[in-house]
Amino acid sequence: MYPEDTSTFAEKYDFIIVGSGSAGSVVANRLSEVSDWNILLLEAGGDPPISSEFPSLLFSIQKSDADWQYRTVPQEHGCQGMKEKRCLWPRGKLLGGTSNLNAMIYTRGNKRDYNNWAAAGNKGWSYEEVLPYFRKSEDFKYHEEGTEGHEDYSSEYHSSGGFLSVQPFTYKSPIMQGLVDAVKEKGYTFGDRNGKTQSGFTLQHGTIVNGTRENTAKAFLSPIKDRKNFHVAKFAHVTKILIDPTTKTVVGVEFDKNGKKHSVRCSKEVILSAGTVNSAQLLMLSGIGPREHLEELGIPVIAELNVGGNLQDHLMTLAPIFKFNRTRPYPVNPIKVLDDTYDFLIHRRGPLTSVDLFHLLGFVSTKFAHLDVPGSSPESVDELDFPDVQFQYNRFHLQDTESSKIFSDSIGYTDDVYEAMFGIPNSEAEIFFPLVILQRPKSRGYIKLKSKDPKEQPVINPKYLSDPRDVQTLVEGIKLIIEILDSETLKQKFETEMSTTKIPGCEDKNIDSDDYWSCVVKKVTTTIYHPVGTCKMGPRSDPDAVVDSTLKVHDIKGLRVIDGSIMPTIVSGNTQAPIIMVAERGTDFVKDEWLK
């Protein structure tokens, strides 16, 4: 399925791409369309394992050799319920990158996100200008007839025939229809949340094909694996960008492979698509970054830019926990697990083609949403269509401790927090819980080097919840979801009841108070794997900008960054689809320049 590993390298390539994730795979595909260009793609990992094909096994790669296994530094305000107060940051180290371990959810963000990018001086990045690049990638399949929002999908916003398969998740758990009914009972609409409006709920689409995960290597590299002008080097860890300090021109890269150091030259450009952590780390190792920080480590400064700053991430709060089917719970059934496995392997259907949190997705505005639109008022929240909270959900069968512990370990909760959140409620009934996701965090963090050693993990400090507005918005989101789930439909059909087991450290607070939920937010809130922003796009007049609007690194010739790290502000939704769009847009900038 995947391209073969290259062991013999040409002395020089036209373009060298670092990283094969959600952006790099796209960049390699599009640049190698030009048959006169020779392309080298360098990837620190290998091929995706078989387990990654199962959508339901999204946690299987985490903490393996195919995961960079990053951790934040201890947090002052967030991650308080995690071991050592450090949040885990899984990042894919393999072909397709983090698209092998993400939730496969396909959302694009809000129109205002991109219009704000353009208004900040980034020409070519308005919503109207980026929409064609979303459509360019897509091989979109509509919901089946009769489901909510089917009639709302239109060719104005979607297309077919692209490399990326975007389809509905076909398997739906029994509780899902109850949640849909509850949402309708509260007056929320269903429709295409990647279309005309974002506010409301949808039955989610994902990057899947024939019941299996569609990682970006499968989508964009497999179809081109036999192109003669395209080479892939696996297990090739890039350690430095080679830059002529006199002319400030990139001439190639150094990388380690099979225990040996290699260097390869480029005639046109090096393109970093290594992601928010690795792209920033590699720039700083190569002398591009904050002067004081680099000089402190003894790294000669070639270009003084705010690399590693502007770090942003979406946060999810897993609260509150709801018990359901209390008098008729459905326990884990080993025979059904075997049947489900057979169903997946033979027919590509059933529960293993999905995970419950994929089914129902919603975007809702809290009372603070209007503050992100200057000159607006609380009364205009619905008209603005700029939701600041996203909802998903997950569930566990009665006493499904194996699944709940895998889930908890993937986040890094302490044992006592795990017991209060999942252990006690799940011992009494089936449970489900919303994921209340902050769309536009105000907190900003940074990534710095720990040393000059490229193999040593950098310092990651997202400074979660350091801005109190983030806590306030998440608390309002929790209150909104409690209101939605306080539904007669759910109570009557599924015997739903909110768990009253309190989170350790918050026991002295009234469970109905904002103080309690603020405490819970600081304890259990964690990343939803969307870090962006460390190589910010912006004009040279912006002191925080690292790349210009065509994604060229300021003050350096022959170097671009094309991945999620260039986002000036994080988009209001899951980041995979926007990162693929950035790659499509970025490669057109490259072609525009070199094919003139």
**Which residues are catalytic, by number?**
530
**Measured on CA atoms in the order 528, 531, 532, 533, is the torsion positive or negative?**
positive
**What tokens appear for 48 in the block?**
């995706």
Question: Cα–Cα–Cα angle for 376, 377, 378, nearest 5°?
Answer: 135
Alpha helices in 377-461 (DSSP H): 381-384, 401-411, 415-418, 424-428
Q: In whole angstroms, what is the distance from residue 289 CA to residue 286 CA?
A: 9
Query: In terms of Cα–Cα distance, which of 578, 596, 535, 584 is closest to 560?
Result: 535
Please count the other Cβ atoms lying within 10 Å of the Cβ belonging to residue 192.
21
Q: Give the residue carrying structure tokens 């490229």.
A: 454
Residues 6+ positions from 563 with CB-CB distance below 8 Å: 19, 21, 22, 23, 24, 272, 273, 274, 275, 276, 279, 535, 579, 582, 583
Whole-angstrom CA distances from 387 to 138, 140, 301 are 25, 24, 42
Q: Using an 8 Å Cβ cutoff, are 552 and 506 in contact? A: no
Q: In whole angstroms, what is the distance from residue 423 CA to residue 280 CA?
A: 39
Centroid of chain to Cα 227: 30
Please state whether beta strands 389-396 and 430-438 pair in parallel, antiparallel, or not at all (unpaired).
antiparallel
Q: In whole angstroms, what is the distance from residue 562 CA to residue 584 CA?
A: 9
**What tokens appear for 316 in the block?**
């999810």
